[in-house]
C-alpha cells in the first residue's frame, strides 16, 4: 500500500475533536452546558476565534446548540453529520484580507472603465436583496470577484473565487446564522462603497485600506458576542 501524504490537522478540528471526546465519554452529559468560550480558550491555551470555529463545527455535527444568552448546551453524544476537512471561517477571512487588499489597490490603478459601474451594480443587487430579506451573497460575490478580475490574473481570481465560495459550506453557513443580520449587512455595504470610492479616485492606498477595514470588520462581526435567539433581523435565503 503506497504511503499517503500527511496533512497538519487544523487547530479548530483538534479543539472540536477534544470536546467531542469529552462529550462522548460523559464528561459533559446531554443537557449540561460547556464552559464559556472564554474559559475554554484559557483552559486549552488557544485563541477564542479557534474555539468559536470548533463550537460551530460541533453544532453542525448536532452535538451542541449555541443558545444566545444561555450558553452552549450539549444536545446529543453522537454526531449526526460528519464534517469534511473545511477551513475555519475566520481563518478564511484572514486569508482573504491578505490577498484582496492588494487586489483592491491593483484595481484602483487598472484603468478599467467598466469596473466602477459594475461594482455599483453589485451594491444595488446587495441592497435589493437586503430589502427583500434575502441573504445578499450573490451581489457580495460579484463585488469581490469583479475586483479580482481587474487584476487580469487568472490564478489570483481562482484563489479569490475559491475562498469566497467557502461561504457555501456548513461551517460558514452556521456561523452566519448566528451573526449576520440586516444591520451587519448594511454595514458591509457601506464598507464596500468606501472601496468603490477609492477605486473611482484611482487611489490605490485608500482602496487597500478600505478593503482591509471591510474584512477586518467582517472578522470582528463574526467574533462578537453570541446573538440572542430573539433577534429576528437575519435576512433569509430563498434558496
- The per-residue pLDDT for range 128-155, each reduced to its tens digit, is 999 999 999 999 999 999 999 999 999 9
- Report how far Cα 223 is from the mean position of its chain's Cα atoms: 10
Residue partners of 209: CB distance under 8 A and separation at least 6: 101, 198
Q: Is residue 234 part of a domain?
A: no
Q: Is residue 232 part of a domain?
A: no
102 and 166 share one domain: yes
Q: Is residue 83 part of a domain?
A: no
Cell numbers for 235, please give them: 435576512
Cell numbers for 105, please give them: 489597490
Identify the domain containing residue 19 by its residue range: 11-74
CB distance 109 to 198 below 8 Å? no
Cell numbers for 13, please give them: 478540528
- The per-residue pLDDT for range 28-58, each reduced to its tens digit, is 999 999 999 889 999 999 988 889 999 999 9
The pTM for the full model equals 0.82
Cell numbers for 23, please give them: 462529550
> H helices of 25-79, where?
37-44, 48-60
pLDDT in tens, the chain (239 residues): 454 454 456 888 899 999 999 999 999 999 999 999 889 999 999 988 889 999 999 999 999 998 877 789 999 998 887 777 778 899 899 999 999 999 999 999 999 999 999 999 999 999 999 999 999 999 999 999 999 999 999 999 999 999 999 988 888 988 888 888 999 999 999 999 999 999 999 999 999 999 999 999 999 998 776 544 434 444 544 33
C-alpha span between 112 and 35 (Å, rounded): 52
Q: Is residue 229 part of a domain?
A: no
110 and 177 share one domain: yes
Amino acid at each position: 500500500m503506497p504511503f499517503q501524504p500527511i496533512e497538519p490537522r487544523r487547530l479548530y478540528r483538534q479543539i472540536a475533536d477534544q470536546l467531542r471526546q469529552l462529550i462522548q465519554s460523559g464528561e459533559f452529559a446531554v443537557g449540561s452546558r460547556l464552559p464559556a468560550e472564554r474559559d475554554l480558550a484559557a483552559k486549552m491555551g488557544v485563541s477564542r476565534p479557534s474555539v468559536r470555529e470548533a463550537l460551530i463545527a460541533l453544532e453542525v455535527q448536532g452535538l451542541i446548540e449555541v443558545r444566545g444568552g444561555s450558553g452552549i448546551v450539549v444536545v446529543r453524544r453522537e454526531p449526526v453529520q460528519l464534517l469534511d476537512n473545511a477551513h475555519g471561517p475566520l481563518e478564511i477571512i484572514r486569508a482573504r484580507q491578505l490577498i484582496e487588499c492588494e487586489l483592491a489597490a491593483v484595481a484602483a490603478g487598472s484603468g478599467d472603465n467598466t469596473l466602477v459601474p459594475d461594482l455599483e451594480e453589485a451594491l444595488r443587487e446587495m441592497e435589493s436583496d437586503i430589502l427583500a430579506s434575502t441573504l445578499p451573497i450573490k451581489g457580495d460575490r460579484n463585488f469581490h470577484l469583479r475586483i479580482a478580475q481587474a487584476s487580469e490574473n487568472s490564478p489570483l481570481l481562482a484563489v479569490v473565487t475559491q475562498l469566497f465560495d467557502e461561504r457555501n459550506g456548513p461551517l460558514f453557513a452556521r456561523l452566519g446564522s448566528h451573526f449576520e443580520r440586516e444591520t451587519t449587512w448594511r454595514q458591509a455595504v457601506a464598507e464596500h462603497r468606501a472601496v468603490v470610492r477609492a477605486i473611482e479616485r484611482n487611489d490605490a492606498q485608500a482602496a487597500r485600506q478600505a478593503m482591509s477595514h471591510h474584512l477586518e470588520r467582517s472578522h470582528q462581526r463574526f467574533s462578537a458576542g453570541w446573538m440572542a435567539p430573539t433577534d429576528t433581523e437575519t435576512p433569509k435565503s430563498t434558496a
